[in-house]
Amino acid sequence: MPEVKLFAGTNTKKLADSIAGNYGQELGAMTLSKFSDGEMSPSFDESVRGCHVFLIQSTNPNADNLLELCLMIDAAKRASAYKVCAVVPYYGYARQDRKDRPRVSIAAKLIANMIMSAGADRIMTCDLHAGQIQGFFDIPLDHLNGSAIFVPYLKSLDLGDNLIFASPDVGGVSRARAYAKHFEVDMVVCDKHRKRANEVASMQVIGDVEGKDVVLVDDLVDTAGTMCKAAEILLDKGANSVRAIATHGVLSGKAYENIENSKLSELVITDTIPIKKESSKIKVLTVAELFAKAIHAVTGNDSISALFV
């Protein structure tokens, strides 16, 4: 079998170190040179000829992270790598997955085209904003699920019969329903209306949360405005407590301030995106073991079904 080598982009170096450690080897050596104007030039400091190469890099903004990944893929292909797999823990621009108004880009498809054009043979990611983005790729895609990380944690809280799940918007109902079905409990929906991106105009709760410990479920948290608004309304409706789980902690703008001042008991995220600072209300779980197991499965031609809850 081809030798397996793992390399990290600069944005995801800490997570990549953990993935490599769980996989059982060290990260490969590479250098990212920059010209004075910021132009990037990645190069591998060891041979990848005939190797099965995994390039680990989240593509959250700014756009340098995406461009660096594409340049790494191109460099590996031109260095005669056997196969190149782009490991993208957080797939940026996934929120722009359709034309929801006239004259806009479907950015999620454009990013897929860029990664494939760069030469990737496979992509591995976690909790896409919309599952249909898998269809934007004409190469194999391994779509991992954050529930493998969150379910054991929620079980450790031992919330018992008071547990109930909530979706912060109508679009996330299927995600919350999957958790509710697994725990055999009920779910509610927070129906929100936006005036513009990152700004919630109004919200109402569909369902009963009286005396319940609510867990809000989402794929990502950005400014945290929706989560904080939902927590406030759910508590007003009689909930005992409200905590939130979200795979990707984008946490931009006033997110940290919003979370600290909110009525959330805690926000649980993963390390697909490195957090900018610590917070007493933010708990970070790692996806390193999950990705390491997926890489083992891919290189051994095994099924990844066992990784799903």
Which segments of the chain are extended strands (E)? 4-8, 30-34, 40-44, 52-56, 83-88, 122-126, 141-144, 163-167, 187-196, 199-206, 213-221, 241-249, 267-270, 282-285
Instruction: Please state the length of the chain.
Output: 309
Q: Which of 5, 192, 212, 293 is the catalytic position?
A: 192
Distances (CA, A) of 89 to 49, 184, 257: 25, 29, 25
Name the β-bridge partners of 87.
56, 124
Longest dimension (CA), the chain: 61
Cis peptide bond N-terminal to 240, omega within 30:
no
Contact 79, 44 (CB under 8 A): yes
Whether 192 sits among the annotated catalytic residues: the reply is: yes
CA–CA distance, 304 with 94 (Å, rounded to integer): 23
Distances (CA, A) of 66 to 5, 110, 152, 232, 264: 20, 12, 32, 36, 33
Contact 205, 239 (CB under 8 A): no
Active-site annotation, residues? 192
